[in-house]
Amino acid sequence: MKVALSTGPRGFFRALQGADAVATVVREFVASGGSDAPQVLLRKLFEKLGATYIKLGQFIASSPSLFPDEYVLEFQKCLDKTEPVPFSVVRATLEQELKRPWSDVFESIDPQPLASASVAQVHAAVLKGSRKDVVIKVLKPGVEDTLSTDMNFIYLMSRYLEFIQPDLQRLSLTGILSDIRTSMSEEVDFTKEAAHLQQFSAFLDVRGLRAIATCPYVYKQFSSKRALVMERLQGVPLVDYSAIRSITTKDPEAVLISALNTWFASVMSCETFHADVHAGNLLVLADGRVGFIDFGVVGRISPVTWRAVEALIASLTLGDYETMARALATIGACDADVDYPAFTRDLETFFVELDNMNTNLVISRDRVGGSGFAASLEVDQTQLNRLFLDLVRIGETHGIRFPREFGLFLKQLLYFDRYTRILAPSLQVFNDDRINVKDLSRQYGR
């Protein structure tokens, strides 16, 4: 309570909200017979505490080098879906940002949101005059104040814990939380996401990739820190084989190759790369192009790390696990006395098991003709997360700790591995001349 008071009146009010959330979780725990594990209780509490803690939970889920496996896996389930705020509130925020009535800019706005998350709400709309379909992403009211109050409280608490327990200083809690605060501050500033989209768009044009991939056009004149107006891309998820067949004449394997070539090139030659390529963020359009959407999470790979990644890719192609072990040691912070023969054996075992895994077959009603059934394949998210953790833990067993940015990169590779099994099971991603992943640093001058 003393720490809460030090953050001012908002901190005190937020502490009361926190106490209510804790009481609710405890009541639910007792009512369920007390069967939930500690990590489940913490995840439920974070969801009830709202935006800041949901984002903190997502950070835990993407940072296996910092947190125990059971917490990383549990926080993969952290739901960023909340009750929508009334459209009147969204309209008021939008008009405040536009500095004019919404009807001066839009012909119509659907009052029912397409999505409602902890930070923002998304609505479909039609622009006035051009009648172009767009989506509007609007920051929910009070999010910025809540974020600032919560992060100040968490930061002060971490300093207090380090003071009373000096051993915690070796974990660099305050440094980690400072990075999280910076990351979260960017997520509630939509000018940052707009900049990422525009950088990716410029990259597509400069590299001549617009014929195979695209991203939403940002209407900068209608966008601001708290509102983002973008072109609405109409397509189907990259993971849905049957839907891809129904929407475009382009072969699903060719679509996947387009996505891979675009993403790999962006890692090297765009200022940031898309670091959340789950199926909902990669759309296949009617013309066969791949639409990359939602640039709220991005990553950066340094030239030094990329050269090690190239060695990693080459070793994957050849099945050369010793070179792979040395490349991974270069990427991560490691002890001087890494046992490379043992590390090599563990990596070989991991990739043999990865190769032998099957993707789940799902039978669904055919959406094209309305009769009969269609077979498609789905990505097992839990399985993917476990694979990601297993590889990180193999590194840690041998004294290697990977940076978070490489973790983001690695997880995207695992997403693409799943998509390959769905759309082109016989495709050898790192040994196919149609996929341009070899010597990218030479091509792009890094």
Residues 137, 365: Cα–Cα separation, whole Å:
32
The H or E element spanning position 398 is none
- How many residues are listed for the chain in this entry? 446
Residue 307 tokens, joined: 């050269």
Element (H, E) at 23: helix 9-31
Instruction: Kindly report the backbone phi and psi dihedral angles of residue 218, in degrees, each rounded to the nearest multiple of 5, phi listed first.
Output: -95, 125
CA distances from 35 to 28, 38, 68, 199, 310 (A): 10, 10, 20, 48, 46
Catalytic residue among 36, 145, 189, 276, which? 276
Query: Angle 303-318/321-331 helices, nearest 10 degrees?
Result: 160
**Contact present, 356 and 347 (Cβ < 8 Å):** no
Residues 397, 195: Cα–Cα separation, whole Å: 39
Distance separating alpha carbons of residues 142 and 48, to the nearest angstrom: 16
Asked about 276 being catalytic, the answer comes back as yes
What is the 3-state secondary structure of 108-151? EECCCCCEECCCEEEEEEEECCCCCEEEEEEECCCHHHHHHHHH
Rounded to 10 degrees, the C-alpha dihedral 101/103/104/106 comes to: 130
What are the φ and ψ backbone dihedral angles of 99, each rounded to 5 degrees? 65, 35
- Report the helix count and the strand count for the chain, using DSSP H and E: 17, 15
Q: Which active-site residues does the annotation give?
A: 276
